[in-house]
Amino acid sequence: MLKKKFIVSFLSVSILLSSCSNYKELNQISIVNAMGIDYLPKEKKYQVIIQIINPSAIATQTGSQGIPVIALEEKGRTISEAARNVSKKGSRTNIYSHVALVIIGETLAKEKSLNFIFDVFERDSKIRVNIPVIIARDKNVNKVMNNIASLDKLSAKSIVGKIKNTSSLLGENQETLMREAVSAISSSGREPVINGASLENESKTSQTLENMEKVKSSYDKINGTGIFREGKLVGWLDGPQAKSIQIIDNLIKETNIQIPCNKKEYDSMEITRLKSKTEIKMKGNIPIINIKVNSIGHIDEVLCNDNFDKAITLDKYEKLAENVIKRTIEIGISEVKKLGGDAFGFGEKLHMSNPKIYKKYEGNWNDTFKKSKVSVDVDVQINNVGMRKKPYPY
């Protein structure tokens, strides 16, 4: 009996000791909040920037001291080598499990395929793949990711918050997670779409605490949707036509359209419900794409004196709104076809509906997509015009 107790006690101590083998004190680790990756063509090396949280600067009870984040950067022949080279500049072990944002340089996205950029993230169990990904547009990664935000102490939190905010209100952008980008890269019938971000109102104090104290400070702005072909960035989709991707993928939560009410003025309609259905058939070697959109909205601003107390006015605005949405989708698809990558996933949709036919075009779908013919049918219903129905007197 004594022998059994001894064995149990020995096992308990062994388990306790083994569970502490990877134990580290908090003052021995650095929490990486964001990562930036770019490519240096002249050196043929990757550049990795890690953004580390400064705990003393984000403390709320003891009073914050110093800048909220610290950036370290290094170069390497691979992303892994560059990340490990950063250890020369830091006294603590970097923890990557809390990375909230990955920023890719525009040079990297254009010159190197994304096919291998995310490979290191998928292979390493220490980092998640449900992280938002963006592209630093027009500026280098350092400037976009290390701008000290005026409202949010952590710039990564600020950028992610802006993506979520604009996707829910405007609908031109939608948060892209790393695993979604990887899934699109792995698919022969869809190319990834990744949001762009640019630094606006840049100054010498953009990366200092002084930036937080300005009324007109520098700030990161969500800027366009990156279109890819075979994993490489080939162009940008900007403005209302970028909504076409979100409409076809049924990702619109809420948006706003401007309706021309005369030659100079516009009225505004808020779209509160928008659902689309896409059907694809092959006729010869040409994809025939039919898109049907049903939408519900209400008038939220009037700059023309129309009387919304009359049914004829509502009918007129419904038709005008249908034309606006139809043109948005048609222009969006036309622009993407010029760039050559199927950002809408029409190939995936054909594969789901008719895998045998899609098999014939799988190896060259992007070129087949460029020859497609598209028809768009839109139905809009106005269910509210707000508190005021009759026009102003003048």
Q: What is the CATH number of the domain that holds 334?
A: 3.30.300.210
Last residue in a domain, options 183, 205, 237:
237
- Say if 19 falls within a structural domain: no
Residue 230 belongs to what domain range? 26-237
- Say if 9 falls within a structural domain: no
pLDDT < 50: residue spans in the chain = 2, 6, 8, 10-11, 13-17
Residue 44 dihedral angles phi and psi, to the nearest 5°: 55, 45
pLDDT attached to residue 212: 80
112 with 169, same domain: the answer is yes
d(CA 153, CA 67): 9
- Say if 380 falls within a structural domain: yes
pLDDT attached to residue 2: 47
193 with 300, same domain: the answer is no
For the chain, the domain total comes to: 2
- Say if 375 falls within a structural domain: yes
Residue 29 has a CB neighbour count (10 Å cut-off) of 13
pLDDT attached to residue 355: 93
d(CA 334, CA 173): 18
Last residue in a domain, options 217, 237, 257:
237
pLDDT attached to residue 58: 66
- Say if 250 falls within a structural domain: yes
74 with 214, same domain: the answer is yes
Name the pTM for this structure. 0.86
d(CA 367, CA 337): 9
The helix (run of H) or strand (run of E) holding residue 236 is strand 232-237
pLDDT attached to residue 4: 52
306 with 220, same domain: the answer is no
